[in-house]
């Protein structure tokens, strides 16, 4: 593939980029949505729900067949025995997030995992009880933090510390977060940030921020919902205490798919660390001792935070997707992602000019697949016009359209078409405004 800018106008350039793309064949391994007339939609919403790997159907059907044929014996005799099913996800997930296998477990949903981690790592005192989050943090994260503060007897209005960008800027500066931790770290019990901010698309330097948090004496965790499968990660080396993520966005595991959790190895042997216990969190060697083992003794791995046995039908599609990530390789996906988003930025600036402000930082290390487009007038009308033309993106109030070209299945040709549609739609809505039409 041609390396780096400059980009060129015209469809021929986009076709050349697709012809040079070594990952182009992966698109055929996904089921892509079509419009009412049968034409394929331009799907740029993998940051919200990834499309289905075709292999997912086969893997789910295998579990249904084993359930029908084996019933309870499927726990040990299925093609992929259910008893240890989650262990098949451990190593590929660990490779994807840059962790050791025993630091990672697939379980629950993101917010459930977040609450379980907060039981263990949010240990407030009167002097140090605040939780630091970023501006425009995902709503579920904020709600979880508010409820944990209340649970511990603190007022969220005082206990939740929200880092704000500088006046006139849309994203946070790492040095400002470091300065905040240097000034107020003694009040902060937990730093919890997104690997990639869902609203702006800004990618954070996790290792640098974890280091600043730990120097200030704070526990530190990350929400990787918009980072896992999107950008390279090195969780173990970052020295974060924990991280949580969902699997239905860039990991393409389906609606409501099982999430994931990371706990740094330094905590894995600490059986006395507070946590909620459950059957599946104990050592597998004693799990079926049942009533004969009356005291909870957690497994010395991230598995020790599990509560219940794994949801097999929910995990099967994740197996299909993780296999594709292993095959394609995150380095190659990242190279294509940067080329896609660079081309998208070029097309948006050509098509819409000053009408659209791109909130997402331009520096390659500061973003992932997503660009967040702030529309300065009639944002909803522009978004609806894109939808009528076959573009699937998403809208975030009050004025932001999020567009996420995913390297596993999106093409440069789709981006060129999007640029043409955006130019036409922006021109049409601007003309309507000038003429006073609603």
CA dihedral (218, 221, 223, 227) positive or negative:
positive
Secondary structure (3-state) at 219: strand
Average pLDDT of the residues of the chain:
94
* Of 105-109, 285-289, 341-345, the least confident: 285-289
Range with the lowest mean pLDDT among 186-190, 239-243, 268-272, 325-329? 268-272
pLDDT at 437: 42
Distance CA 341, CA 404 (A): 8
**At residue 438, does pLDDT exceed 70?**
no
Is 215 within 8 Å of 85 (Cβ atoms)?
no
Helix pair 412-434, 11-19: axis angle to 10 deg? 150
Sign of CA pseudo-dihedral 232, 237, 239, 241: positive
Q: Provide the b/e sequence for 384-407 (b: ≥16 CB within 10 Å).
A: ebbeebbbbbbbbeebbbbbbbbb
Residue 368 vs residues 51, 60, 196: alpha-carbon distances, Å: 18, 30, 7
For residues 20-24, give the mean pLDDT: 98
Give the chain's domains with CATH numbers.
11-31+330-434 (3.90.1150.10), 60-326 (3.40.640.10)
Task: Identify the pLDDT of residue 169.
Answer: 96
Q: Against a cut of 0.75, is the pTM above it?
A: yes
pLDDT per residue over 353-408, tens digit each?
Answer: 888 999 999 999 999 999 999 999 899 999 999 999 999 999 999 999 999 999 99
Q: What is the mean pLDDT of residues 66-76?
A: 97
Q: Report d(CA 372, CA 379) in Å as an integer.
A: 12
* Positions of E strands within 117-210: 130-134, 160-163, 188-194
pLDDT of residue 428: 56
Q: Is 85 helix (H, G, I), strand (E, B) or coil?
A: coil
pLDDT recorded at residue 4: 53
pLDDT digits (tens, 9 = 90+) for 216-236: 999 999 999 999 999 999 999
CA distances 416 to 184, 202, 308, 314, 345, Å, are 47, 24, 47, 35, 11
Model pLDDT, residue 292: 83
CB 194 within 8 A of CB 367: no
Is the per-residue pLDDT at 68 higher than 80?
yes
Q: Which residues, 6 or more positions from 141, have their beta carbon under 8 angstroms from its beta carbon? A: 111, 114, 133, 192, 194, 223
pLDDT digits (tens, 9 = 90+) for 313-331: 999 999 999 999 999 999 9
Reading phi first (left if > 0) and then psi (alpha if -120 to 50, else beta), residue 79 is in: alpha
Average pLDDT of the residues in 287-291 = 80
Residue 5's pLDDT is what? 57
pLDDT at 353: 80
Query: Residue 171 gets which letter from DSSP?
Result: S
Phi, psi angle pair for 282, to nearest 5°: -90, 170
Residue 286 pLDDT: 83
pLDDT band at 291 (very low <50, low <70, confident <90, very high): confident
Is the pLDDT assigned to residue 87 strictly greater than 90?
Answer: yes
Residue 413 confidence (pLDDT): 98
The 8-class DSSP code of residue 72 comes to: G
Report how far residue 291's alpha carbon sits from residue 12's, in angstroms, rounded to the nearest whole number.
69
With cut-offs at 50, 70 and 90, classify the pLDDT of residue 294: confident
**d(Cα 320, Cα 260) in Å, to the nearest integer?**
16
């Amino acid at each position: 593939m041609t390396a780096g800018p400059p980009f060129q106008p015209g469809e021929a350039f986009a076709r050349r980029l697709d012809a040079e793309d070594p990952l182009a064949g992966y698109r055929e391994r996904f089921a892509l949505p079509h419009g009412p007339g049968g034409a394929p939609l331009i799907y740029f919403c993998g940051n919200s729900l990834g499309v289905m790997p075709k292999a997912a159907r086969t893997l789910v059907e295998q579990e249904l067949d084993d359930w029908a044929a084996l019933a309870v014996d499927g726990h040990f005799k299925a093609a992929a025995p259910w008893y240890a099913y989650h262990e098949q996800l451990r190593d590929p997930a660990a490779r994807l997030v840059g962790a050791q296998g025993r630091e990672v477990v697939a379980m629950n949903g993101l917010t459930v995992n977040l609450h379980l981690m907060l039981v263990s790592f949010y240990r407030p005192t009167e002097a140090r009880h605040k939780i630091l989050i970023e501006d425009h943090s995902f709503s579920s994260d904020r709600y979880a933090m508010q409820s944990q503060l209340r649970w511990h007897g603190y007022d969220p209005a005082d206990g939740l510390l929200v880092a704000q960008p500088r006046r006139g800027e849309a994203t946070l500066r790492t040095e400002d977060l470091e300065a905040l931790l240097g000034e107020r770290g003694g009040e902060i019990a937990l730093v919890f940030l997104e690997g990639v901010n869902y609203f702006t698309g800004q990618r954070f330097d996790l290792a640098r921020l974890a280091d600043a948090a730990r120097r200030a004496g704070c526990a530190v965790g990350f929400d990787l919902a918009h980072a896992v499968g999107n950008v390279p990660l090195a969780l173990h080396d970052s020295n974060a205490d924990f991280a949580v993520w969902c699997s239905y966005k860039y990991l393409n595991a389906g609606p409501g798919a099982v999430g994931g959790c990371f706990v740094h190895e330094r905590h894995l042997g600490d059986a006395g660390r507070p946590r909620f216990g459950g059957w599946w969190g104990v050592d597998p060697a004693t799990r079926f001792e049942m009533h004969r083992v009356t005291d909870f003794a957690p497994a010395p791995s991230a598995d020790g935070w599990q509560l219940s046995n794994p949801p097999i039908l929910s995990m099967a599609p994740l197996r299909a997707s993780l296999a594709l990530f292993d095959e394609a390789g995150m380095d190659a996906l990242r190279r294509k992602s940067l080329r896609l988003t660079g081309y998208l930025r070029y097309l948006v600036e050509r098509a819409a000019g000053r009408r659209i402000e791109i909130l997402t930082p331009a520096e390659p290390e500061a973003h992932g697949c997503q660009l967040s487009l702030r529309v300065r007038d009639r944002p909803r009308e522009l978004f609806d016009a894109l939808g009528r033309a076959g573009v699937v993106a998403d809208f975030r109030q009050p004025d932001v359209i999020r567009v996420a070209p995913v390297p596993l299945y999106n093409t440069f040709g789709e981006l060129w078409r999007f640029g043409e549609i955006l130019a036409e739609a922006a021109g049409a809505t601007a003309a309507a405004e000038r003429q006073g039409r609603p």
